[in-house]
């Protein structure tokens, strides 16, 4: 498995799994219409700053998302 569920800096693989599921639904056309509700809920659970319905900074979100995916997928156990 390529997900590091033990990384204390990550989200136990939850972010990587939610993002993967979202992309698979888009890429493989499982549903003709894709709603971002599921990934939005998961992101709100994992990131406290994304729980509000107010407008957020897109760059800050992309940085948070990429950092979270990096930590969920980082397989290095010791540095």
The 10 Å CB-count burial string (b at 16+, else e) for 11-21 is bbbbbbebbee
Predicted local confidence at residue 47, as pLDDT? 94
Are 11 and 74 a contacting pair, CB within 8 Å?
no
Predicted local confidence at residue 13, as pLDDT? 94
Q: 78: pLDDT confidence band, cut at 50, 70 and 90?
A: low
Furthest-apart CA atoms within the chain: distance in Å: 44
């Amino acid at each position: 498995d390529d997900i590091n569920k033990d990384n204390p800096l990550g989200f136990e693989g939850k972010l990587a799994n939610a993002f993967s599921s979202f992309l698979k639904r888009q890429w493989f056309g499982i549903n003709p219409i894709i709603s971002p509700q599921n990934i939005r809920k998961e992101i709100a659970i994992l990131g406290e700053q994304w729980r509000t319905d107010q407008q957020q900074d897109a760059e800050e979100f992309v940085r948070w998302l990429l950092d979270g995916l990096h930590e969920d997928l980082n397989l290095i156990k010791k540095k």
